[in-house]
Each structure stands twice: as C-alpha cells, then as structure tokens.
Amino acid sequence: MNNKSEFNSINDPVKRIVEKDISREELSPFDPPDAYNPQNIETVPYENMHPFLQNLIDEHEAFTKVLNKFEKALLSWRENHWIFTDEIDTGLKQFFAFFDEKVPLHNQKEEKKLFPLLNKKLIESGEHNSNDPSFTGINLMEDEHIKVAQAAAIVFNFLGLGSRLPDLQSREITYKAAFDQGMAIIETMKLHIFREENILFPQAMQYFNEQEFSKLTK
C-alpha cells in the first residue's frame, strides 16, 4: 500500500461496534486506571478454569497475536517514515479485520453473560468502591471496551485522512496521531487482558457455582 492508502476505499468497520455512549470523557491520553491489586488475588491455572473462561482466554490469545503483529507494523511504519509496505499493510488490515469480526462477539460474551453476574457477586462480597457500592472493577473493564473501540475508529479514520492530504507535513502529523492511538490500543488491551485473566476470571472461579457457569454456557 502506498501513501494513497487503501483505507480510502473500504468502509469503516469499527464504528458498528461502538454501541454505547462514547462522549463521556476524552480519549487521549490513554491512561487506564489502577483498579485492582493482583497480589490479593490467587491465580488459577488455565487447566483449572471453567471451559467458559478457557474459551475467553483462548480468544485473548488469538487477539494478542494480532496485537503483536499490529505493533510490529506500526513500529515499522514509523521507522519507514510513514511509507506503507506490503508487510505493514498486512499487519494493519489484519488488526482491523479481527477487530471487526471477532472482538464484538468476544465483548458480548463478557458484557452480556460474565460481567453482570460477576458484578453482582463483587457487590455482594464487598469488593466495590467505598463511596459508590454500585461501582466495581467491571465498570472499568466495560469502559476500556468503549475506549479501545474509540481509539480503533480514530486510527482507521486518521489513516484514511492522512492518505488524502497532499501536504507532506500535514500527512505526517496525521499519521503520527494514528500511530500514537494505535500504540495506546496495544498497551491498554494487553493490560486489559492481564486484568481479566489474573483478576476477574479467578474471581469468577471463586464466586460462581457450577449451575451459574452452566447458565453462562447456554
């Protein structure tokens, strides 16, 4: 892909998944809050996780591979002075395709099934904000889902905008903004996945009984 990016000619795939109110707070800087202390959570090995959680972990692994390729493509793009190559183009397009096809389904499993029940359990067990008992770590996870969707939309649109700018300096400024948001996605999602697998999923194993897990799998 040259500077006349192919992002001009394809429909924006990420806007469809931003179904919630995304105007509540500014996107950048991307600074995920410190919500948990993992040292207080006993880890649970993958083989001891319920199959429902194992499935989510498997999907995390697939997304992490895409994120790593996305990161490699972004860094190569910057080193190549914002000129696209086939390898860079492949890494970028693979990320957006995965984000469009796989991430919404994964998030729905968490937001529609896992999160509501776990949020209820956390409140009942007293693991909530001291000033607002309705606020738990689940709120932070859902918020990061929204922020990452916002950032992905920004990266996609800036790539398309930059390819249409005739002025070299303006194009580089736009591409630099896309790069920064892309790196923010990578940092946030890796931390997000770590929190889920090392904090939320062990909490689910602690608080859910087999009947409750069975309802999640239906």
- HSE toward the beta carbon, residue 178, CA cutoff 13 A: 25
Per-residue pLDDT at 40? 66
Query: Whose CA is closest to 109, among 48, 56, 49, 47?
Result: 56
Q: CA 178, CA 171: separation in Å to the nearest integer?
A: 11
With respect to residue 205, please indicate whether it lies within any of the assigned structural domains: yes
With respect to residue 135, please indicate whether it lies within any of the assigned structural domains: yes
CATH number at residue 83: 1.20.120.520
With respect to residue 76, please indicate whether it lies within any of the assigned structural domains: yes
With respect to residue 109, please indicate whether it lies within any of the assigned structural domains: yes
Q: CA 57, CA 47: separation in Å to the nearest integer?
A: 11
Per-residue pLDDT at 129? 80
Q: What is the pTM of this model?
A: 0.81
With respect to residue 10, please indicate whether it lies within any of the assigned structural domains: no
Contact 12, 100 (CB under 8 A): no
Per-residue pLDDT at 19? 45
Task: Write out pLDDT tens, residues 181-209.
Answer: 999 999 999 999 999 999 999 999 999 99
Task: Write out pLDDT tens, residues 110-140.
Answer: 999 999 999 999 999 888 887 887 889 999 9
Residue partners of 7: CB distance under 8 A and separation at least 6? 156, 159, 160, 163
CA 63 vs CA 40, 66, 97, 177: distances in Å: 27, 5, 11, 23
Q: CA 82, CA 170: separation in Å to the nearest integer?
A: 12
For the chain, what is the domain count?
A: 1
With respect to residue 65, please indicate whether it lies within any of the assigned structural domains: yes
Q: What domain range is 92 assigned to?
A: 47-217
The pLDDT of residue 1 is above 60: no
With respect to residue 145, please indicate whether it lies within any of the assigned structural domains: yes
With respect to residue 2, please indicate whether it lies within any of the assigned structural domains: no
